[in-house]
Amino acid sequence: MFIPGWLISLLTFPGVIAHEIAHRFFCDLAKVPVYKVCYFRIGNPAGYVIHGQVNGLKSSFLISIGPLIINTILCALLTFSATFPIFILEAENYSVVFIILMWAGFSIGMHAFPSNDDMENFVQEVKNAKEGGVLLMFAKLFAGLLKIANALRVIWFDAIYAFGISMLLPWLIGAL
Amino acid sequence: MEEETLQNIPILSPHKYPAWIKLFTGALLLSVIYSLILLPEYFVASKKFKLGVEAYSNRNYSSSIQNLEYAIETVPTSKKAKIAIAKAYFANGNQQDDEKGLEYLQGVTLDKDTWADLTTVMPVEYQKYFNDIKQ
C-alpha cells in the first residue's frame, strides 16, 4: 500500500518534532550555531535544522545521531506499559490512554533514523578531520546501514523498527 | 546552505525554544512518567500470565488458574489470558470447573490453530456452542 510521505509525517508528527528537537538540542549542547529550525511542516522534508560548522567528531556524531538516540529511548519508554495489554496479553479493548501512548511512541520511533543528509554530513566530518582507518570505516558502515534503513522505509521498515523497539524493554525484563 | 549565505542569517539563541515546543516536550515527559507509573501493574499481570502458561505446561492447573485469574483481573479483555484459563479449567479434571472455562470463552473469536488446540481439552458437548465464522 502506497501512502504519501507527507501524510505519514502528518499522522506521525510527534516523531518529526522530537527528531528536530533532538538535532537542535545537540547543536546547542555542542555550541554549534543554529540558523533556522523548522520543527514541522507539511512538505519534504517535514522538518529541518540549519546549523553552522561543526567542530569535532564527537559533536558531529551527536548532532547526526541525536535523533536516533532520543527518539529510540522515547519510543521504548512511551510504549513500555502499553505493550503489555496490547501485544503481550492481546486485550480486545483497552484504555484510550494506551492508544495515545502507543501512537506517540510509534510515531517517535518511526522518525528515529537520521536522514541520509545527516549521515553524509557525519562521514564528511570524519573525512575532514582526517581520522582515517577504523573511525572512517565505522562512520561509513554506520552511514551505509542507515541509508539502507531509510531506503527500506518503502516497506515500512521504520514502523517495524518502532515495533521492535517497543518490544525491546519487555523482552529485556523477561516479560515475553 | 553555504557558509556565505548563512552569515546573513541571525543565529538563534542557544537553548531558547518556542513556547509550543516547551509545551510539547513537557507533554512528552509527562506521558513517559505516566507510562512508567502504569508499568508495574501491567508488568506483574504479564509475568503472572507467563507463569500461568508455564504452570499449565507442567500440568499444575491450580497454580495456572491462580496466576491467569490475576492477569485477567488486571486486563479483563485479554484474549490470550481468557483462552489460557479456559484450557486450564477444562484440563484440571474437575468437571464442575468446565462451565467456568466456557464462560471465559464467551464472545472470544478463535483462529483455527487456537480452536484445534482448545478442542484437545474442551469437553465435546461444549464444542457445539461455537460457530464457524467465514472471513
Q: Is the pLDDT of residue B41 over 90?
A: yes
CA of A15: which chain B residue's CA is closest? Answer: B28
Flag whether pLDDT at B53 surpasses 60.
Answer: yes
Residue contact A84–B31, C-beta within 8 A:
no
pLDDT band at residue B4 under the 50/70/90 scheme: low
Q: All 3 cell numbers of residue A83?
A: 505493550
A37: helix, strand or coil: strand
pTM: 0.89
d(CA B123, CA A66): 58
- What value of ipTM does the predicted structure carry? 0.89
Q: Which residues of chain A have pLDDT under 70?
A: 1, 131-132
Q: What is the sign, positive or negative, of the torsion defined by CA atoms of B110, B116, B117, B122?
A: positive
CB contact under 8 A, A175 and B14: no
Taking residue A57's Cβ as centre, other Cβ atoms within 10 Å add up to 16
A126 closest CA partner among A73, A52, A78, A60: A60
* CA dist., res. B128 & res. B130, Å (int): 5
Q: Which of B10, B31, B71 is opposite residue A78, by nearest beta carbon?
A: B31
pLDDT digits (tens, 9 = 90+) for B103-117: 999 989 899 999 999
Residue A74: phi, psi to the nearest 5?
A: -65, -40
Q: Give, as one character, the DSSP assignment of residue A85.
A: I
Q: Rounded to a whole number, what is the distance in Å from the CA of A157 to chain B's nearest CA?
A: 24
- Counts for chain A of helices (H) and strands (E), in that order: 7, 2
**Greater pLDDT, B13 or B93:** B13
Residue of A117, A111, A3 whose CA lies nearest to A67: A111
Query: Are A121 and A60 spatial neighbours (Cβ–Cβ below 8 Å)?
Result: yes
